[in-house]
Structure 1
Amino acid sequence: PEQLQCRTVCGQGAVRCVRFNADGNYCLTGGADKSLKLWNPAKSLLLRSYLGHGQEVLAVACACDNANLASGGEDKMVAYWDTASGTAVRKYRSHLARVGALDFSPDATLLASGSVDCTVRLWDLRSKAQAPVQLLTDARDSVTAVAVHSWRIYTASLDGRLRCYDARKGAVAEGLWFEICFVKKYICAIWCTCRPHKDRCSFLRQSGS
């Protein structure tokens, strides 16, 4: 039977988002108190707090090498953090509405952010430029999830579609799922829109796996 492993009082007011790092040893929480916190969940141990948002933190992400974190919030800002020092390396303020979805590329050189402004913006983390390197505007409603895997960029929107962008060709293929996340070499896509077959879970197999 499933059992509660641990319980942590985060001290952030409402906890708006939570996400594990790549190996599952650490997790991030974003709160209504405008903070991002890094935890050792097995010990309920707070490792560091990151402050810099003006409103609630709604999305968090961790680079695969654990060297950097990202957060997005109600303040429309995307923050790129140095994990060890707690310093905000860059703050991107291009979105026109709250940011609720983030993901790093596997090599941690690209960050994708999705927003209620119906866009996905891609940030080159090797550059100090404040403008996104690419703007994806195909969504017709709020972008609820983003995932970057190899040369593919997946976005999910309240318009009922999952879009897969080929970063090499600029092509887009559309599906009908609501929210997505990666589980090892698979993509888990959960469809929960107001359509005939809601609450469907589909797994898309990665090529070569």
Structure 2
Amino acid sequence: MKLTSPTIVQNAHDDSIWTATWVPATDDSPPLLLTGSLDETVRLWDPDSEKCLQTNTGHCLGVVSVAAHPSGRMAASASIDSFIRVFDVVTNNTISTLEAAPSEVWQLQFNPEGTILAAAGGSSASVKLFDTAQWKTVATLSIPHPESSNPSEKSGSKKFVLSIAWSPEGRHLACGSMDGTISVFDVTRAKFLHHLEGHCMPVRSLVYSPAPLDSRVLFSASDDGHVHVYDAEGKALITTMSGHSSWVLSLDASPDGAAIATGSSDRTVRLWDLKMRAATQILSNHTDLVWAVAFGQPLRRDVRSCLLASVSDDKSIAFYQYS
């Protein structure tokens, strides 16, 4: 497995790019990349032409998260302006605007069925679930403190929720907190199941393995510089992978389940072979913090390959081919 040398889109935004996600292909459109920036815009990109197809100016402060619906027809963006905007990908028209208290939404993700949008709730120490039919709150999953916590540590700021990930079948939801813990919920019963421990600093990014045989495997990225691999149902830490020299800000799993990519404040993107449990490539094409990495769908012209995108504080987007 490898990543090709990237194609770089310089000055893709007017300020730092903090978030990126792929919009799935539809009958009318190939996979497209959605990015959000501190310049207050969300932009849609065609990776083939490297052109911006449209710019969404619906927010009045920096955009911290974008999420694409599985249908490829709509998407959502969250901003530090305290609003989540749901919009039509093709027309850019607003479908719904959801309000949240300041600093209450740091990551968004639709469930695999597209029926629920989850929002990591920041200092509320919770994850809010919105139905995608009426755009109403259907549940609030509150993060309990680990039994091992000291009373002096039981403050709301310690449980600030930064990251979320749906399991492949959509039954479980994992969320990462500022204190380094990961909480796992059974969404169908709106029930907290258990904590996963091992990190000692904020958990910035989470993703489940897409491989059918490994669907209970959860990957986490943390400011402690480590990537952890968990059995999310058995509550076991399988292994730890290290190599970045600073915070690991983002990670994503390849569609074939054989690799993960990570982005870091050390300005590198790394490709990790999960059988070797080691980084096989280190790419230093960005000149500042790498806030997001995202694998796309397998390419129609080569189903064994896909695109990986990375975005950075340097305002650029990098497109790599993974095979």
Distance 1:191 1:3, change over 3 A: closer
Task: State the match for 2:126 in structure 1.
Answer: 119
**Cα offset, 1:155, TM superposition:** 0.9
**Cα offset, 1:184, TM superposition:** 2.3
Q: Would the aligned equivalents of 1:50 and 1:87 in 2 still touch at CA under 8 Å? A: no
Q: Would the aligned equivalents of 1:144 and 1:156 in 2 still touch at CA under 8 Å? A: yes
**Cα offset, 1:191, TM superposition:** 4.6
User: 5+ unaligned residues in a row in structure 1: which ranges?
Assistant: none
Q: Which has the higher helix share?
A: 2
The one-letter amino acid paired with 1:39 is W
Q: Would the aligned equivalents of 1:158 and 1:193 in 2 still touch at CA under 8 Å? A: no
User: 5+ unaligned residues in a row in structure 2: which ranges?
Assistant: 145-157, 234-256, 258-323
Aligned sequence identity (%)? 17
Task: State the match for 2:206 in structure 1.
Answer: 180
The one-letter amino acid paired with 2:131 is D
Greater relative contact order: 1 or 2 (C-alpha under 8 angstroms, separation 6 or more)?
2
SS at match of 1:99: coil
Task: State the match for 2:310 in structure 1.
Answer: none
Distance 1:22 1:189, change over 3 A: farther
CA distance in 1, matches of 2:103, 2:222: 23
Distance 1:167 1:87, change over 3 A: same
- Map Cα deviations across residues 150-197 of structure 1 (whole Å, 9 max, x no partner): 111111111211111101222322102523124423454225355xxx
**Cα offset, 1:84, TM superposition:** 1.1
CA distance in 2, matches of 1:205, 1:40: 35
**Cα offset, 1:12, TM superposition:** 3.2
Distance 1:133 1:75, change over 3 A: same
**Cα offset, 1:65, TM superposition:** 1.2
Q: Would the aligned equivalents of 1:33 and 1:56 in 2 still touch at CA under 8 Å? A: yes
**Cα offset, 1:28, TM superposition:** 1.1
TM-score by length of 2: 0.57
**Pair 1:145-2:163 in alignment:** yes
Task: State the match for 1:53 in structure 2.
Answer: 59
Task: State the match for 1:75 in structure 2.
Answer: 81
Equivalent residue pairs, number: 203
CA distance in 2, matches of 1:203, 1:22: 27
Q: Would the aligned equivalents of 1:152 and 1:167 in 2 still touch at CA under 8 Å? A: yes
SS at match of 2:70: coil
**Pair 1:109-2:118 in alignment:** no
Q: Would the aligned equivalents of 1:12 and 1:35 in 2 still touch at CA under 8 Å? A: no
Distance 1:158 1:44, change over 3 A: same
- Map Cα deviations across residues 119-178 of structure 1 (whole Å, 9 max, x no partner): 21111110144xx21112216422111122311111111121111110122232210252
The one-letter amino acid paired with 2:207 is C
CA distance in 1, matches of 2:8, 2:132: 34
SS at match of 2:117: strand
Q: Would the aligned equivalents of 2:38 and 2:63 in 1 still touch at CA under 8 Å? A: yes
CA distance in 2, matches of 1:43, 1:188: 34
CA distance in 2, matches of 1:90, 1:38: 19
Matches within 5 A, 1:179-198: 179-185=205-211, 186=215, 187-192=217-222, 194=224
Q: Would the aligned equivalents of 1:78 and 1:113 in 2 still touch at CA under 8 Å? A: no
Among candidates 145, 155, 158, match of residue 178 of structure 2: 158
Matches within 5 A, 1:12-31: 12-22=14-24, 25-31=31-37
Which range is displaced more, 37-46 or 90-99?
A: 90-99
Distance 1:156 1:128, change over 3 A: closer
